[in-house]
């Protein structure tokens, strides 16, 4: 038995055959989306058009690489995803189309957040070849760990540990724990302490709780790895010039089966030649809505991750005498003792430098990465992942300068009440 679904008869000029798509009849535009190909739909919004018109359609992706740039997507919660893991990946940021260019500071930095992979490289192109600035590891201080695992809870095991850094409460949330048998699990949170054996009760151990436990994980091991979700890298360039930056991801398995980057900030580091005064204030504001009904009962809803902040004061006064007048001369700060290294800051222009920085950034328009300390070279590169050592956010305060004593453009001593940076979420 034969079942006919469709029958077409060709006559006249089309009997020998037709040429696609020239001989196909056009389709009327529709105000409703209709499928074209490969997940693309077309609908009429406005007109007119002409016969035989053609359009080039630029593809858009659900998790595009451009989202890692704060100028495109400032929130690290969205970011980029790759299609697969276990393959090497590169992406470059071009600074100049004309060749090598001067850097705005002899010290440069790289900040990566929302990452689920372990290691990679920060590279530069100087017109001839790609050169590695720094090989970095999100688990540089937390690898080769002994551990004990019980149904999603992981704590230090016995033995001498390679990790000696302090772990703050919940700073590992969003990171990855890699078991000795290579099983990877997301870290939901952690307690504070050290990753050290506590056989005599003389220290506070950090403990992790993990997501996705299915019984394939080891119950103990000596090669566990904690992968932080963020990293900050610094390099003192000793007057080098650069045409492009490149980030390399070392191909490896991840907990998600794809790579992620939430935010990437790379470029010059603005160094304060005059450190802020004592009294620096740090804060954390929960993004929680608390609703009280007529009976006094309350319900809460978590709207997002808490937002950290830092306030930097220069209330003790900064003497501007050495940068004022017709013949100023001031002490300077260098980032490295390496031969050829350039000065990265003056000692006594901090208030005016801060004023110019806010003007350049447009206040809160352009996000920044605040780091309370930067290692001096040599060595000329360094990196760290602890969340108290970096804050990606916006300067949300106005600039205000108060004269304590002295004459304008001659001998002023001024103070700046405070500059506030709020974390970007």
Distance CA 265, CA 410 (A): 38
Q: Are 339 and 79 in contact (CB under 8 A)?
A: no
For residue 415 the two structure tokens come to: 């103070």
Distance CA 104, CA 267 (A): 8
The ranges assigned to domains in the chain are: 145-227, 281-423
10-residue mean pLDDT series, the chain (425 residues): 72 67 74 82 82 79 93 94 95 90 93 97 91 96 93 87 83 97 97 84 89 95 95 94 95 97 96 92 94 94 94 94 91 92 93 96 96 92 94 96 93 93 95
Q: What pLDDT is recorded for position 161?
A: 67
Contacts of 204 (CB under 8 A, 6+ apart): 192, 193, 194, 198
Place of tokens 């957040």: 113
| DSSP conformation letters of 241-300 | -BSEEEEEE-----SSSS-EESEEEEEE----SSPPPS--EEEEE--EEEEE-TTS-EEE
Q: What pLDDT is recorded for position 211?
A: 97
For residue 116 the two structure tokens come to: 């689920």
Distance CA 78, CA 269 (A): 25
Contacts of 291 (CB under 8 A, 6+ apart): 298, 299, 300, 301
For residue 142 the two structure tokens come to: 């937390």
Q: What pLDDT is recorded for position 49?
A: 79
248: how many CB neighbours lie within 10 A of its CB?
A: 19
Q: Is the pTM of this model over 0.95?
A: no
Q: What pLDDT is recorded for position 29?
A: 80
Per residue in 215-262, pLDDT (tens digit) is 999 999 999 999 999 999 999 998 899 999 999 999 999 999 999 999
Among 245, 236, 242, which Cα is nearest to 343's?
236
314: how many CB neighbours lie within 10 A of its CB?
A: 23
Q: What pLDDT is recorded for position 134?
A: 97
Q: What pLDDT is recorded for position 127?
A: 78
Distance CA 193, CA 138 (A): 19
**Alpha-carbon distance values, 163 to 140, 223, 226, 392 (Å):** 9, 12, 10, 26
Q: What pLDDT is recorded for position 56?
A: 84
Q: What pLDDT is recorded for position 165?
A: 85
Q: What pLDDT is recorded for position 160?
A: 64
Among 310, 282, 313, 281, which Cα is nearest to 401's?
313
């Amino acid at each position: 038995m034969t079942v006919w679904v469709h029958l077409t008869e060709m006559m006249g000029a089309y009997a020998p055959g037709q040429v696609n798509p020239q001989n196909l009849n056009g389709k009327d535009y529709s105000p409703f989306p209709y499928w074209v190909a490969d997940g693309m739909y077309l609908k009429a919004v406005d007109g007119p058009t002409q016969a035989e018109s053609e359009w080039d359609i630029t593809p858009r992706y659900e998790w595009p690489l451009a989202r890692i740039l704060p100028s495109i997507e400032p929130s690290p919660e969205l970011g980029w995803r790759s299609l697969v893991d276990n393959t090497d990946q590169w992406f470059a940021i071009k600074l100049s189309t004309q060749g090598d260019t001067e850097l705005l500071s002899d010290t440069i930095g790289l900040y990566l957040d929302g990452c689920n992979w372990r290691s990679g490289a920060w590279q530069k192109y100087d017109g001839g070849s790609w050169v590695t600035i720094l090989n970095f590891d999100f688990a540089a201080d937390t690898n080769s760990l002994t551990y004990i695992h019980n149904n999603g809870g992981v704590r230090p095991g016995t033995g001498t540990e390679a990790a000696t850094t302090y772990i703050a409460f919940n700073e590992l949330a969003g990171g990855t724990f890699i078991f000795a048998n290579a099983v990877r699990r997301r870290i939901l949170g952690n307690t504070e302490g050290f990753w050290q054996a506590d056989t005599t009760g003389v220290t506070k151990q950090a403990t992790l709780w993990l997501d996705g436990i299915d019984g394939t994980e080891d119950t103990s091991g000596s090669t566990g790895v904690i992968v932080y979700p963020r990293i900050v890298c610094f390099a003192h360039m000793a007057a080098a010039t650069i045409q492009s930056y490149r980030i390399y991801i070392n191909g490896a398995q991840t907990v998600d089966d794809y790579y992620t980057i939430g935010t990437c900030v790379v470029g010059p580091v603005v160094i304060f030649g005059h450190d802020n005064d004592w009294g620096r204030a740090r804060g954390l504001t929960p993004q929680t809505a608390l609703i009280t009904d007529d009976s006094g009962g309350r319900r809460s809803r978590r709207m997002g991750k808490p937002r950290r902040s830092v306030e930097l004061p220069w209330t003790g006064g900064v003497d501007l005498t050495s940068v004022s007048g017709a013949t100023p001369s001031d002490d300077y700060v260098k980032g490295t003792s390496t031969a050829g290294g350039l000065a990265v800051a003056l000692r006594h222009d901090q208030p005016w430098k801060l004023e110019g920085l806010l003007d350049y950034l447009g206040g809160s328009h352009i996000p920044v990465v605040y780091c309370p300390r930067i290692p001096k070279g040599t060595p000329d590169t360094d990196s760290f992942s602890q969340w108290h050592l970096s804050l990606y956010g916006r300067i949300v305060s106005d600039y205000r300068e108060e004269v304590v004593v002295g004459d304008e453009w001659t001998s002023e001593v001024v103070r700046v009440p405070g500059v506030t940076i709020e974390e970007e979420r």
